[in-house]
Structure 1
Amino acid sequence: MKLMNKNAIPYLVLASTMLFTAACGNSTSGSETKPAAAGSESKAAPTSGQPVKVIWWHSMSGELGKAVDKLVADFNASQKNYVVEAIYQGNYDESLNKMKASMDSKSGPAMIQTYEIGSRFMIDTKAITPVQKFIDADKYDVSQLEENILSYYTHDGKLYSMPFNTSNPVLYYNKNLFKAAGLDPEKPPATFEEVADAAKKLSKDGVSGGSFAIYGWFMEQFFANQGAELVNNGNGRTSPATESQVNSDAGVKTLTWWKQMVDDKSMLNMGRKTDDTKKAFLAGQIAMTLDSTGSLFGIVNGAQGKFEVGTGFLPKPAGAKDGGVIVGGASNYILNNRSEAEQKGAWEFMKFLADAKQQAYWHVNTGYFPITKKAYDEQSVKDNMAKYPQFKTAVDQLHQTKAIKATQGAVMGVFPEARQLTETAIEEALNGKKSPKDALDGAAKEITAKIATYNKTVSK
């Protein structure tokens, strides 16, 4: 069955209020550059003499939306077979809810941008055509794309969607404050223990050592960086997840470390908004913070004339297993209730977006990773890397990530809710309402129950 049946799919997962969008949905754009060159002529011809309209729903607003509009205009000018119309549909949760409502009427798009934690849900709807079908038909060379980015969106050996906007988290630190505290400004702390030690030394003269927003994405990343899986059954990749492991040793160790720094007042608890920690960092009130690589250009530009920004890998416990970071952001899916010509047009547009020139433009104007390796050979990217050398940290962190189930990222149909429950547990622990273990035990129990309900509904 291709269409989503409202009685068979757990729509309540999407209908519930989801407070957080993907890891880097609010990133700040980089400096303006010359527009990317138009792509090559599409080889796929529509079935009629008129160009086929391809509707694309996306969640990129502000400067990101302007970059999207430029890419669309370039594609439309590059060939005559298809006309892509990009329509902003609100944040990722809002867009998914609109897609759900559109399925029976076929009023939805041919292509939709969906955040990474919506992957399991999108597959379970059976409302999509895996892009692997088009890859195989075209003999498209995926080796030109970043392996660690492809890995996230690959399930059961198939690529279900095409990566688009991609980021990971890095440690941002104030080099001036490091120097004033007697710390080496060229050597960011790499372990939990080093972060805690640095935070104590940096906490003086009205400055706090740092602050991490209460964001479930960060906990997910700390798991992966320890080589630990967030849910069972190979992070939900060898078979559907049935149990949350957020209360495992990796989670308890992470939250205990985090809480201890808050308790000894070397770290501030500023709540759930990354914008709040970003503002405090740029104001010189905190010396360290975690944020998306998608925010890098904005942070570096915001600190200009005030202090020098340093970047470091996401920290992990000393002696932790091999691991790395999980990609955040979103990918594009092709909906299977649109015509074959529309689906083919969506695929042609996806290939255009993945081209090195387009990826270079996207990276330089948004701060997201290029998904295509050859984009790094483009002069605009080389110039941008010289202007923002801090971004090399992000690239190195991505490339040094070991490809295992932990770093592929967890998949579960109730991921948005699971992330919120994790944030509630972190909040309870940092505010002293529960111990880290008790808080995470409670979250794991609730998440596991929601997974069970979802799995039963999907299997009907």
Structure 2
Amino acid sequence: MKKRLLSIILAASMVTAVATGCTQEASSETNNEGKGQEIVFWHSMGGAGGETINKMVENFNNSRKDIKVTAQYQGSYDDAINKMKSSQQGNAGPDVMQLYDIGTRWMIDSGYSVQIQKLVDEDKFDLSSLEENLLGYYSIDNKLYSMPFNSSTPILYYNKTAFKDAGLDPEKAPKNMEELKGMIPKLTKKDGSGRVTQYGYSMAVYGWFVEQFMSKQGLTFTNNENGRKDKATAVEFDKNGGGLKVLKLWKELNDSGNMGNFGRKTADTQNAFKAGQTAMFIDSTAVLSSILKGVDGKFEVGTAFLPEITSGDKGGVSIGGGSLWIMDKKDDKKQKAAWEFVKFMVSPEQQVLWNKNTGYFPVTKKAYDLDEMKEHIKKYPQFQTAIDQLHASPVEARGALLGVFPEARQTVETNIESMLQGKVTPEQAVENSAKNINSAIEKYNKTNK
């Protein structure tokens, strides 16, 4: 009897154990399904930008149970590119990567990414609500290669209080360089010893500004329609006269003694403006929040379109900043999950959050329909300038694609510095820049056929 009872107990225990095991196994499978796809996102945003990206990623993760995104800061854009190249050997790179605008041609040629247009078409995603000018930069032959994310353009920042003190109308910023040249002597201040305490105008030694002034003139930076009809094989700024016009003007302003030169670091020129050491300067719309915060009410800040080189120029401004690329990991599920994340990052609500905390444009026009965005622009009307300038710029002003753009910018900056120091003439600076960049283009094209 005892033996029979023991057998019954053992049998029952085995059934329970099997049932429990099945339940545990099912539970484990359910948990694995619940975790879903894990996505790694590499970005190069520090400070407020990095904090906001982390918040946006957190918002995405809270909205989805089937996808988890981990954001990883990779340092500068150049650092991120070098890490990307190394990671490709073991397919260990990210699923989504933020890359600066001038890396576009390189990324396309690398073959590391999936063309965004493919995912747009498969998902029947409507691009019409996104800003046409922003999409235009990252498109070739109407095919979108990456999703615009942190986009900006250059604008003129000016000290309205300094304008009033100089007897100038604070509501009338210079529309072109001739007007600017007439204003800056009035805005330049000196102490008793003749030392300049406030320059009328400043701009950092930044290659991006040369590219922007080329676009403003309606001229191309490289051949083959700015590298969009076909790969660029040479620059054009030395042949169409646009580059020389920009550098001659730069030299003239510098030699007048009314323009401050604070070097290559844009932050140094920004800090000079905040401190009242320059009355006007040009820089990205992305630094608007930082400028307003740094000025902190010491004077009234005005914003205006990037001045034309010559009155009547029919061009516009090109975008800067970066975009989101989906990497080709040969995994359809990860790719679809990455696409869901990218769509979320450019949604109206998230783009309002992004704009408010950074100053970058909302990628989607639907962001302007939200009350939060309307209130933000009302509070900071200076940003309306950036919106108006973007919409006033023709898509054709979208700028060049060049595989050696980082190197090209450094070359231009080095020659501008030599010119400002009186070591070379504007003509020589243009010629030297073109020669060195064309050599780099030739080498690049040979290895990236």
Q: TM-score, normalization: structure 2?
A: 0.90
Alpha-carbon deviation of 1:62? Answer: 1.9
Structure 1 contact 110–338 (Cα < 8 Å) conserved: no
Alignment-mate amino acid for residue 128 of structure 2:
S
Q: Would you say the 8 A contact 1:223–1:230 is kept in 2? A: yes
Cross-structure match for 1:90: 75
**Partners of 1:220 and 1:343 in 2: CA distance:** 34
SS in 2 for 1:242: coil
Q: Counterparts in 2 of 1:375-414, with a 5 A limit?
A: 375-404=367-396, 407-414=397-404
Which has the higher Rg, Structure 1 or Structure 2?
Answer: 2
- Give 1:50 deviation, angstroms: 3.9
1:345 equivalent in alignment to 2:337: yes
The equivalent residue for 1:171 is 156
Match of 1:264 in 2: 256
In structure 1, give the amino acid aligned to 2:56: L
Q: 1:106·1:338 contact (CA, 8 Å) conserved in 2?
A: no
What is the deviation of 1:378? Answer: 1.3
Per-residue deviation, residues 246-298 of structure 1 (Å, max 9, x unmatched): 32411111111111111010102221111111111111111111111111011
Q: Which residue of 2 aligns with 1:233?
A: 224
Cα deviations by residue, 1:68-99 (Å, 9 ceiling, x for unpaired): 11111111111222111111111100011101
**SS of match in other structure, 1:396:** helix
Provide the secondary structure at the position in 2 that maps to 1:104: helix
SS in structure 1 at match of 2:204 = coil
What SS does structure 2 have at the residue aligned with 1:385?
Answer: helix
Alignment of 1:39-438 (within 5 A): 50-205=35-190, 206-247=197-238, 248-404=240-396, 407-438=397-428
Kindly provide the amino acid, as one letter, of the partner of residue 161 in structure 1. S
Residue 19 of structure 1 corresponds to none
Q: Find 2:437's aligned residue among 410, 433, 447.
A: 447
- My pick for the range that moved more, 274-283 or 230-239, is 274-283
The alpha carbon displacement at 1:236 in A equals 0.4
Q: Give the Cα–Cα distance (whole angstroms) in 1 for the partners of residues 416 and 47 of structure 2.
A: 31
Secondary structure at 2:57 match in 1: helix
Query: Structure 1 residue 320: deviation in Å?
Result: 4.5
Q: CA separation in 1, counterparts of 2:386 and 2:273?
A: 19
Query: What's the CA shift string for 1:144-202, capped at 9, x where partnerless?
Result: 10000000000122101011111111111111111111111100001011111111221
Amino acid at match of 1:414: V
Structure 2 residue matching 1:90: 3-state secondary structure: coil
Alignment partners' CA distance in 2, 1:111 and 1:366: 21
Kept in 1, the 8 Å contact 2:289–2:357? The answer is: no
- What is the rounded CA distance, in whole Å, between the counterparts of 1:62 and 1:305 in structure 2? 22
- Residue 49 of structure 1, CA deviation: 5.6
| Residue type of the alignment partner of 1:220 | E
1:354-385 per-position Cα deviation (integer Å, ceiling 9, x unaligned): 11111111111111110000101112211111
Deviation (angstroms), 1:448: 0.5
Contact kept, 8 Å, 1:246 with 1:443, in 2: the verdict is no
The aligned amino acid for 2:289 is F
Q: Which moved more, 1:113-122 or 1:272-281?
A: 272-281
User: After the TM superposition, which parts of structure 1 deviate over 6 Å for at least 4 consecutive aligned residues?
Assistant: none
Q: 1:435 is matched by which residue type in structure 2? A: T
Deviation of 1:318 (Å): 2.6
Aligned partner of residue 446 in structure 2, secondary structure: helix
Rounded to whole Å, the distance in 2 between the matches of 1:274 and 1:314 is 16
Identity of aligned residues (%): 50
Match of 1:456 in 2: 446
For 1:194 and 1:335, how far apart are their aligned partners in 2? 47
Matched AA of 2:379: K
Q: Partners in 1 of 2:223 and 2:376 — Cα distance?
A: 41
Q: Is the 8 A contact 2:344 2:350 kept in 1?
A: yes
Between 1:104-113 and 1:197-206, the stretch displaced more is 197-206
Shift of 1:337: 2.3
SS across alignment from 2:314: coil
Contact 1:293 1:368 in 2 (8 A): yes
Asked if the contact 2:34/2:65 (under 8 Å) is kept, the reply is no
For 2:229, what is the secondary structure of its paired residue?
coil
Deviations 1:223-261 (A, max 9, x none): 101101000010000011011123241111111111111
SS in 1 for 2:350: helix
**CA shift at 1:104, angstroms?**
1.5
Q: For residue 263 of structure 2, give the secondary structure of its aligned residue in structure 1.
A: coil
CA distance in 2 between counterparts of 1:183 and 1:402 reads 31
Runs of at least 5 residues in structure 2 that lack an aligned partner in the other structure: 1-31, 191-196
Residue 10 (structure 1) aligns with: none
The residue aligned with 1:15 is none
Letter aligned with residue 133 of structure 1: K
Distance 1:62 1:322 in 2: 37
Q: Is the 8 A contact 2:155 2:283 kept in 1?
A: yes
- In structure 1, stretches of 5+ residues that fail to align are 1-46
